[in-house]
Amino acid sequence: MRVDVVSIFPDYLAPLRLSLVGKAIETGLIDLAVHDLRDWTHDRHRTVDDTPYGGGAGMVMRPEPWGEALDDLVPAGTDARLLIMTPSGRPFDQRLAAELAAEPRVIIACGRYEGIDARVAEHAATRMRVDEVSIGDYVLNGGEAAALVIIEAFARLIPGVIGNPESLAEESHSADHDQLLEYPVYTKPAAWRGLEVPEVLLSGHHGRITAWRHERAVELTRRRRPELLPDAERTDELEVRPAV
Ligand SMILES: N#Cc1c(-c2ccc3ccn(Cc4ccc(CN5CCOCC5)cc4)c3c2)n[nH]c1N
């Protein structure tokens, strides 16, 4: 898979060279290129922003550099998917991560200021698939942090990136998981600062361990994300429990 990221802060994406995603890049599973949007400006000051039509605070990113960047990165006839990060975007979720993991080419546009001129998305959509995406209901200063999140979320789903693909199947939010949050996990020592590992996990009885883990996952999901519970697991009564 080829991933292109365009930003005025390309160094912000340096962490992608670390850890699992970095290994996937080194082994060629992912071909990552990070570009400086200012390389597509032509004035002495390498200007990428201007004042908003209609007034309002802040500046808006000019369409010309973005248009030229996309012309170069996505030649006519190329099958590519453009993600534009924006607080008003489609909520990013595991389903979209799985879709992106199957794409041959993804271009990620990281805006700054008050956003990118709306005509960039409109024009790009005449020749490629465009998704305006948000990673959550809070406001960031730009799209780079969101790009890091999204790239990690879909890269780890690419076959060969994660050492043990079985672990993907059990995760929260994964498409083939029943949408429960993960159960709590423990490792050695069995006793730590007066806190014991639940006995059942030391029993070696796999049936009981599986049942206990499912119960804990349902309990946690009911408490923290009841909307994810299948109807059969929902209860109406208010559960008064310590927030953990
Ligand atoms: N993904 C993601 C994000 C982003 C994100 C993504 C990309 C950019 C590019 C610029 N910014 C800054 C910015 C801040 C506030 C606003 C609101 N507007 C309201 C109307 O008046 C103008 C301003 C817009 C742009 C970005 C933020 N934030 N939160 C997410 N989950």
* Ligand 1 closest atom vs CA 92: 1
Residue nearest to atom 3 of ligand 1 (CA): 87
Q: What is the DSSP string of the chain?
A: -EEEEEES-GGGGGGGGSHHHHHHHHTTSSEEEEEEGGGG--STT---EEPPTT--SS-EE-HHHHHHHHHHHS-TT---EEEEEEEEEEEP-HHHHHHHHT-SEEEEE---TT-B-HHHHHHHTTTSEEEEEESSSS--SSSHHHHHHHHHHHHTTSTTTSS-THHHHHSTT-TTTTSPPPPP---S-SEETTEEPPGGGGS--HHHHHHHHHHHHHHHHHHH-GGGS-GGG---SPP-----
Kindly give the distance from the C-alpha atom of residue 203 to the centroid of ligand 1, in angstroms, as a whole number.
50
Domain with CATH 3.40.1280.10 in the chain: 2-155
For residue 38, give the amino acid letter: R
Query: Do β-strands 105-109 and 195-196 pair in parallel, antiparallel, or remain unpaired?
Result: unpaired
Output the pLDDT for position 175. 53
Residues in CB range of 97: below 8 A, 6 or more apart: 150, 153, 154, 157
pLDDT single digits (tens) 36-76: 999 999 999 999 999 999 999 999 999 999 999 999 999 99
pLDDT single digits (tens) 125-154: 999 999 999 999 999 999 999 999 999 999
Residue nearest to atom 25 of ligand 1 (CA): 114
Judged against a pLDDT cut of 80, whether residue 3 lies above it is answered with yes
pLDDT single digits (tens) 203-227: 999 999 999 999 999 999 999 999 9
Output the pLDDT for position 177. 52
Residues in CB range of 234: below 8 A, 6 or more apart: 222, 226
Output the pLDDT for position 8. 98
Tell me the pLDDT band of 169, cut-offs 50, 70 and 90.
low
The top-level CATH class assigned to 2-155 is alpha beta
Kindly give the distance from the C-alpha atom of residue 132 to the centroid of ligand 1, in angstroms, as a whole number.
11
* Ligand 1 closest atom vs CA 140: 28
Residue nearest to atom 26 of ligand 1 (CA): 142
Bridge partners (DSSP) listed for residue 191: 196
Q: Is 28 left (phi over 0), alpha (psi -120 to 50) or beta?
A: left
Give the CATH superfamily of 178-240.
Answer: tRNA(m1g37)methyltransferase, domain 2 (1.10.1270.20)
Whole-number Å distance between alpha carbons of 204 and 154: 34
* Ligand 1 closest atom vs CA 114: 25
pTM: 0.91
CA nearest 65: which of 38, 32, 95, 25? 38
Kindly give the distance from the C-alpha atom of residue 113 to the centroid of ligand 1, in angstroms, as a whole number.
8
Average pLDDT, the chain: 92
Output the pLDDT for position 16. 94
Output the pLDDT for position 235. 67
Only one residue has tokens 């794409």, namely 103
Kindly give the distance from the C-alpha atom of residue 74 to the centroid of ligand 1, in angstroms, as a whole number.
25
Residues flanking ligand 1, CB < 6 Å: 85-87, 89, 111-115, 133-136, 138-143, 146
Residue nearest to atom 21 of ligand 1 (CA): 114
Residue nearest to atom 8 of ligand 1 (CA): 142
Kindly give the distance from the C-alpha atom of residue 235 to the centroid of ligand 1, in angstroms, as a whole number.
37
Tell me the pLDDT band of 234, cut-offs 50, 70 and 90.
confident
Domain with CATH 1.10.1270.20 in the chain: 178-240
Output the pLDDT for position 218. 97
Share of the chain above pLDDT 90, in %: 83
ipTM above 0.90, yes or no: yes
* Ligand 1 closest atom vs CA 111: 9
Judged against a pLDDT cut of 90, whether residue 171 lies above it is answered with no
